[in-house]
Chains A and B, each alone.
Chain A
Amino acid sequence: MLRYLSKLFQPREALWLAPYLCIALIALGLLRPLPHFPVPAHSRTVKGSDGVSVQVAQPLRGIAFAPPSVPDAYLEDTHSPELLVYVGVASGRKWFANGMMSWVYPEVLKNDSLWNAKLFRSTSNPFAEIETPLAYDPSVYLGCGSPVIQMRSVGLPVLTSGSTCGGHQKLLMCPGSPVPPVWFHYPEGPLFIPLRVDADLIGHPELADPKISSYCESLDELQGELQPSTLAIRPRVLMVGEYKGDFPRAGVIDVTAERKIPGDDAERVLIMDPDMIFINGFNASPREFMDDPRRQGLKAVRDRRVYKWAHGGIAYKPAGIRWLAEIAHPERLQPKVRQLLRDRVVSEFGYRLSEEQIDLLLHVNENSSSMGTERFTRYDQTTSEQGSSK
C-alpha cells in the first residue's frame, strides 16, 4: 500500500490526478448554500392560486412567464399586453398563434423580443428553459409546475395564477353553483381564482368582478333556457383526452370520473358505450375516430355523435358550455353560440371575430360529419338570424 502511495505521489504520476481533484473540488462547490434573490425594497403582496404569497416589486417593471407559458388566459383576464416583457419560447408562440388572443393582440404574436426567437429551444427541459426568463428583469414571473419550485427556491417572485397551468382551472364557479366532483382536488376552490389573481397582479383587482358577473349572467341565461332539472334524458358523455367540460351545466352526464381517458383504450370505451363522445387534442379527428373499425359497435359512432372538443380558448367559458349544451339538447336551445362568441369578444376587447375565426374556434370543419353540428355553420346561423329577425 505504501509502495502504491509513494508511486502515486511521484510528481509525474500525481500530475494525472490533478484534473480529477479539480473536478471533485468543483463538484463540492455544488454543496454550497443556494444563492438567494433579495426581497425588493418596495413591494406589494399578491396571493397566487396555490395560496403562496409573492412580493411583487413596485412600480411594476413587467411580467415574464416561467415555462410553460400560456399567455391567453392572462391577456383575457387583464387586457394588458403592454406589461409583458417575456412570454415564452417559439413552440409556445406557435401554440399562441392558434388562439383567439393572437387575433385580438397581434402585437404580442409579432413582437420577437417577447418570444426570444433567437434563442429558440425546442425542449421540454424546464431547467434549460428557466435561463431565458432569467435573462429578463421583471417584477414577477407567472408559472406553474416544477420550474416554479426551482425558481422559488432561489427567492425569485413566481406567482401561480392557475390560468397559466392549463385551461382546467378556468372552471366557472358562480356563487351557489355545485362543485363537480372532478374538481375537488383544488382545495381552495373559490370563485374564478385565475381571474382574481391576474387582476390583483396588475394592481386592478376591481377588474375581476364585472367579468365574473357577466360570465355568471350568461350561465344563468343558459340554465333558464335549458332547465336542466326538467330534462327527461341526459346524454351520457365521454371525454377522450386530458380534460373535462362543465358537464352538469350542459345537462349531460359524465360516464367516467377519471380525469384522463386514453383515446386508444377501445375496450373500455366499448364497455362504457356513451351516447356522445368528445375528443380533446390538437390533432383529434372525429371522422377518423368514427371510421375506426374498432369503434363501429359504439352507440355514439352509429349515431355519428362524436365531436372534436371546442377550442381551448372557449371550452370552459359560457360560449363553450352553451356549445356543449346545444349539441346535447338542440330541441331546447336556440343556436346562439356564434352570436354569443362574436358579441362577447366585441364587448370585451372591441374586436370583431371573422366568420373563419369563429369556425376555427368551434371546429366547424372537423365536426362537419358529426350529427347536429349544422347549427354552428355560418349558413345555418345566418338563416336562423334572418328567421328570428323576421
Chain B
Amino acid sequence: MTEAIMADPAISQAKTENAWTQKRGWAIPLLLGVGVLVAIVASLCIGAYPMSFAQAARIVMHLAWPGPLPLNPPWTVKEITVVQIIRLPRVLLATLAGLGIGISGTALQGLMRNPLVGPDIVGVSSGAAFGGVLAMLWDLPPAGIIGLAFCGGMLAMACTFGLAKLSRAGTDSMITILAGVFVGAFFLALIDLIKHLANDAQLPSMVFWLLGTFVGADARKVAMIAVPTLCGGALLMTLRWRLNLLSLGDLDATTLGANVGVLRWVILALVSLIVASQVAVSGMVGWVGLVVPHCARMLVGPDHRRLLPTAGLLGALFVLGLDDFTRAIMKAEIPVGVLTALIGTPVVCFLLWKSQGKGWGRE
C-alpha cells in the first residue's frame, strides 16, 4: 500500500515541490522584496522630468533614512520636488493598493477554501465603493470617505455571510460566492443610483474614481492607505499559521484548537479594512485579488506562511507595473482598474484551463 502511494507520480511531484519550497523558499521573498524595491525606484524614473535611477535611489534613500536631509544635497530642488511630491505618492499608492489586494484575496481564498474568491467576488469591493460614493455625494472629507467605505465593505461582507447562513449553507463556499455575487450586484445598483443623484460637479470625479485610478495621489492619500494596509497586513501576517488551519476545514481547525468563529470574523474585518482603504483612495481595482493569489501559489505553494507575503509582494509588483505601463508606454491616464480587468480575466481563464477545473468547484 505504502509503495503504491509512493509510486503515485502526483504525490511524488508534490513531495519534490515541497522539498524545493523548503530549501529554496527563502530566496523567493528575497527576490520579490528586492524586486518591489527596485520597481519602486525604477517607477520614480518614469515621467516627463528626466531622472536617473541612481538619483532617484539616492533621494529615496535619504527620504526613508531617519535623520535630517543633507545641507548640501546632491540633487536639485526640482529633482526632489518631482520625487517627493509628484511621483513617490503615486508609486507608493499603487504599491500599497496592490499589496493590500494581494493579501486580502489570498486571505479570503484561504478562509473560504475556494480559489474563486476575491474581494470583488464576495461583494466587499462593491460595498466599499458604495460607501465611498455616498461620502462623495455628501461632500465628506477624506476621513469620511474611508470611514464610509469601510462601513460599506463590512456591511457587504456581513450581508454576504448572512445570506449564506440564511440559506443554511453554513460555510459552503459556493453558496457564499453566490451570495457575494448577489450582494455585489445590489451594491452596484446602489452605486448607479448615487451616480444618478450626483450633480454635474460630482459625477465625473465619481465615475473616474470608480474605474480605479491613482491620479491625484498625494501624501494624505498614501497615509490613508498605508496605515490600514500595513497594520492590517501585519495582523494578517501574524494569523497566517491560523489560516493554514482554517484551510483544512472548520472541523479540523476546531479539533486543532482554533476558535473558528472568532478567527473568521477577525480575518474578514481586517480584509474589509484593507480593501476599504484601497477603494477609498483609488477606486475599484478588480481582479488583482483573484489572480495574484494563484500566481503566488504557483511560486511558493499553498502554505499561507509564505503564500500571504508572496501574494502581497506580487500584487504590489503587478499593480505598480500596470500603473507604470499606463504612464510610460501608453502615455495616457487609462484607469488602472480597466487594465487589471483586461489582463486579469484572460489570466483567470488560462488558469482555469490549465488546472482543468481541479480545485475550482465544490469537490
Q: Which residues of A contact B (CB under 8 A)?
A: 4, 7-8, 12-13, 15-20, 22-32, 34-38, 116, 119-125, 127-132, 134-135, 150, 154, 260, 262
Contacts and interface: CB of A to CB of B under 8 A. Distances in A.
Interface in B15-48: 25-26, 29-30, 32-34, 36-37, 40, 47-48
Given A125-B333, A134-B82, A135-B48, A26 B64 contact: yes
B237 A123 contact: no
Nearest to B91: A26
A125 B216 contact: yes
B89 interface: yes
B309 interface: yes
Contacts of B218: 127
Given A19-B32, A23-B40, 6 more contacts: A15-B30, A22-B64, A30-B92, A34-B85, A134-B49, A262-B200
A15 B223 CA distance: 24
A35 B80 contact: yes
Chain A contact residues: helix, strand, loop or mixed? helix
Nearest to B62: A29
Interface string B84-126: 1111111010011001000000000000000000000000000
B29 A15 contact: yes
22 contacts: A7-B241, A8-B237, A19-B34, A19-B313, A20-B234, A22-B64, A23-B230, A24-B230, A25-B64, A29-B64, A30-B84, A35-B84, A37-B81, A116-B48, A119-B331, A123-B333, A127-B90, A128-B47, A131-B82, A132-B48, A134-B78, A154-B81
Contacts of B48: 116, 119, 121, 128-129, 131-132, 134-135
A262 B85 CA distance: 36
Contacts of B90: 127
Nearest to B316: A23
A35, A116, A125, A262: which has the most chain B beta carbons within 10 Å? Answer: A35
Contacts of B49: 131-132, 134-135
Chain B contact residues: helix, strand, loop or mixed? helix
B77 A36 contact: yes
B63 interface: yes
Interface in B215-243: 215-219, 222-223, 226, 230, 233-234, 237-238, 241
The bracket for how many chain B residues form the interface is 35 or more
A27 B216 contact: no
A122 B326 CA distance: 11
Contacts of B315: none
Contacts of A125: 215-216, 333
A134 B83 CA distance: 12
Contact of A23 (B32, B99, B217): B99
Contacts of B64: 22, 25-26, 28-29
Contacts of A134: 48-49, 78, 81-82
Contacts of B36: 19, 23
B196 to A, nearest CB: 14
B327 interface: yes
A131 B331 CA distance: 13
A262 B63 CA distance: 48
B332 A122 contact: yes
Contacts of B86: 127-128, 130-131
Nearest to A153: B85
A124 B216 CA distance: 10
Contacts of B99: 20, 23
A17 B77 CA distance: 33
B81 A122 contact: no
Contacts of B226: 24, 27
Contact of B332 (A7, A18, A27, A121): A121
A24, A119, A120: which has the most chain B beta carbons within 10 Å? Answer: A24
Given A16-B309, A24-B226, A26-B63, A131 B88 contact: no
Contacts of B200: 260, 262
A17 B331 contact: no
Contacts of B313: 19
Nearest to B201: A260
B124 to A, nearest CB: 22
A114 B230 CA distance: 44
Contacts of B234: 20
B48, B92, B223: which has the most chain A beta carbons within 10 Å? Answer: B48
Contact of A34 (B84, B217, B233): B84
A23, A121, A132: which has the most chain B beta carbons within 10 Å? Answer: A23
A60 to B, nearest CB: 19
Contact of B238 (A4, A22, A27): A4
A32 B85 CA distance: 11
B308 to A, nearest CB: 9
A196 B210 CA distance: 43
A20 B308 CA distance: 12
B331 A135 contact: no
B361 interface: no
Nearest to A16: B309
